[in-house]
Structure 1
Amino acid sequence: MKKLACVLALAGAFVSTEALAWGNDGHRAVGAIADKLIKGSNAGKQVAALLQPGESLESVANWADCVKGNYCGPQTPEMVAYVNANPKASEYHYTDVPFQKDHYHDGDVGTGPDDIVQTLKEAIAVLQGKTDPALNPHGFSKREALLLITHMTGDIHQPLHVGAAYVGADGKFVVPNKHTDIDTVAIFDSRGGNNFLMDDEKVAAMGKQIEGENPKPREGVPRALTKPFHSYWDSTSVDYAMRRIGTRTPEKFAQAVIDSNPGVVKNSGDPVTWPYQWADDALVVSKLAYADVTLGPGNRQVGKKGDVYYNWNIEVPSNYPVPSSAIAKTQLIKGGYHLAALLQAIWPNQ
Structure 2
Amino acid sequence: MKKLASVLALSCAFASVDALAWGHEGHRVVGSIAEKLIKGSNAEKQVQALLLPGETLESITNWADGAKGGVGYPAPTPEQAAYTAVNPKHEEYHYVNIPFQKAHYHDHEVGTSEHDIVKTLRQAIAVLQGKTDPDVNPHNFTRRQALLIVAHMVGDIHQPLHVGAAFLSKDGKFVVPNSRAEVDAVNIYESRGGNSLLLNNDKLSMLSKALIPGEDAPLPEGAKKWTTRPFHSYWDSTVVNYAMRRISTTTPHEFAQKVLGDPDKFRNCEICPVLPVNTTTDPTYWPYEWANDSLAVSKRAYDDVTPGQITPQVNKKGETYYTFSLEMGEKYPVPSSAIAKTQLIKGGYNLAAVLKAIWP
> What TM-score results when the alignment is normalised by the length of structure 1?
0.91
Corresponding letter in the other structure for 2:135 = A
Distance across 1 between alignment mates of 2:50 and 2:222: 40
Equivalent position to 2:357, from 327, 345, 348: 345
- CA offsets, 1:14-37, max 9 Å, x none? xxxxxxxx1000000000000111
2:14 maps to what in 1? none
User: 2:311–2:322: 8 Å Cα contact kept in structure 1?
Assistant: yes
Q: Quick check: 1:56 aligned with 2:56?
A: yes
2:327 maps to 1:315: yes
Amino acid at match of 2:340: A
Identity score, percent: 60
> After the TM superposition, which segments of 4 or more aligned residues of structure 1 sit over 6 Å from their partners?
none
1:325 to 337, 340, 354: 337
The equivalent residue for 2:189 is: 188
1:135 is paired with a residue whose SS is coil
Counterpart Cα distance in 1 of 2:132 and 2:91? 25
1:149 match: 150
CA contact (8 A) 2:304 2:332 kept: no
Rounded to whole Å, the distance in 1 between the matches of 2:333 and 2:298 is 15
Write the mapping of 1:48-197 to structure 2, written as runs, cut at 5 A: 48-69=48-69, 71-197=72-198
Q: Distance in 2 between matches of 1:307 and 1:97?
A: 24
The whole-number CA distance in structure 2 between the counterparts of 1:265 and 1:286 is: 15
Query: Is the 8 Å Cα contact of residues 93 and 117 (structure 2) preserved in structure 1?
Result: yes
Deviation of 1:222 (Å): 4.0
Measured against aligned partners, the alpha-carbon deviations of 1:217-267 in whole angstroms (never above 9, x if no partner) come to: 223334210001000000000000001111000011011111243522321
2:222 to 205, 220, 223: 220
Aligned pair count reads 328
1:36-56 deviations in Å (ceiling 9; x for gaps):
110110000000000112211
Equivalent position amino acid for 2:304 in 1: D
Return 5+ residue gaps in structure 2 as ranges.
2-21
Is contact 1:184-1:308 (8 Å) kept?
Answer: no
Indicate conservation of the 8 Å contact 1:206/1:320, yes or no. Answer: no
AA matched with 1:174: V
- Name the Cα RMSD after superposition: 1.2
Q: Which moved more, 1:30-39 or 1:266-275?
A: 266-275
What's the CA shift for 1:306?
A: 4.5
**Deviation string, structure 1 residues 131-186 (Cα, Å, up to 9, x no partner):** 32101000000000000001000000000000000001222000000111100011
Q: Tell me the equivalent position of 2:306.
A: 294
Equivalent AA in structure 2 for residue 256 of structure 1 = K
Contact persistence 2:170–2:310 (CA under 8 A): no
Secondary structure of the residue aligned to 2:329 is: coil
1:68 and 1:249 mapped to 2: Cα distance? 24
Q: Does 1:267 align with 2:269?
A: no
CA distance in 2, matches of 1:265, 1:74: 37
> Contact conserved, 2:127 with 2:142, CA < 8 A, in 1?
yes
Residue pair 1:188, 1:309 contacting (<8 A) in 2 also: no
Displacement of 1:313: 1.1
Q: Which runs of 5+ in 1 are unaligned?
A: 2-21
Return the TM-score normalized by structure 2.
Answer: 0.89
CA contact (8 A) 1:33 1:337 kept: yes
Separation in structure 2 between the aligned mates of residue 103 and residue 81 of structure 1, nearest angstrom: 35
In structure 2, how many angstroms separate the alpha carbons of the residues matched to 1:143 and 1:219? 35
